[in-house]
Structure 1
């Protein structure tokens, strides 16, 4: 089956105050750290105003949300990746998770079984649906939710067959699942890197 890596980088970053994808940390942009965890061939889903900036940084496969669902959050981003690419299995990762490790993403891929629509890790009791694997057969469910403006990803998970895995079962450190929403989160990145072994 054809496997596609998807980096979601279309958030408005209102709480952070500037586009998080391009914020520099340890010499690289946050999206570049997340992209490392996905691997070489990665499709980026973003906003129209960011596409030129990604392309200037050497990214070739960058798409804005498919119409008529532009600006409708992560579900629109996943739907767009399905629509724009010819794959079966999709590894999905948000651009504001710079501590996530390649080995963690590979473990999620390994755990995807024929009967599952998704593999979603749980860390510290919280589901992590934007650090997960999805099968393209859920596309009609995504379309239905977007059409009805049901944009909560938890609603999607309730309608598909999800295989949940505890982070510790795949050797993932809880720090990997920190996403940078605020300046405070960004300042905490450095201290969190001391708690686990990086790839």
Structure 2
């Protein structure tokens, strides 16, 4: 089966105050930390106004949301990746999770077995559907849900076969699953990495 890595970088970042994908932290932009975790060729789904900036940084496959679902959040981003690329399995990662590690993504991929539509980790009691693996066969369900403007990922997960895995079961540090939404989150990154094991 053909595998595709997808970086979701289309959020408006209103709470943060600037595009999170390009925030510098420890010598890399947030999206570059996510790219390191994906570890292979990836496609980026972003906003039209960010595409040139990604391309200037050497990224080749950068797409805006497919019509008619532009600006409809992460589900539109996943649908766009399905539509624009020829793959079977899709590793999906949001750009605002700079602590996620390559080994964690590989463990999720390993758990994707026949008959499963998605592998989603759980950390501190919270599902993490934007750090997950999806099979392209869910594309018709995704299309229907977007057409109905049902944009909650939890609704999608309720309609497909999901393998949920606790972070500790795959050796992941709970800190990996922190997503940076605000400046306060950003300031807390350093304290979260005191005992962190990097790839």
TM interval, short-chain normalised: over 0.9
The offset of 1:194, in angstroms, is: 1.3
For structure 2, the residue ranges without an aligned partner over 5 or more in a row are none
The offset of 1:40, in angstroms, is: 2.4
| Count of residue pairs the alignment pairs up | 199
SS of 1:134's partner is: strand
8 Å CA contact 1:175, 1:195 repeated in 2: no
Compare 75-84 and 185-194 and name the one that shifted more.
185-194
Instruction: Tell me the residue number matched to 2:34.
Output: 34
SS of 1:45's partner is: strand
Post-superposition Cα deviations, 1:93-116, rounded to whole Å, max 9, x if no partner, equal 000000000000000000001010
CA distance in 1, matches of 2:190, 2:84: 36
When the two chains are superposed, the root-mean-square deviation of aligned CA atoms in Å is: 0.5
CA distance in 1, matches of 2:192, 2:42: 26
CA distance in 2, matches of 1:108, 1:195: 23
SS of 1:164's partner is: strand
CA distance in 2, matches of 1:72, 1:195: 37
CA distance in 2, matches of 1:153, 1:106: 22
Following TM superposition, the consecutive aligned residue runs of length 4 or more in structure 1 with deviations greater than 6 angstroms are none
CA distance in 1, matches of 2:42, 2:186: 24
TM-score where L is the length of structure 2: 0.99
SS of 2:83's partner is: helix
For structure 1, the residue ranges without an aligned partner over 5 or more in a row are none
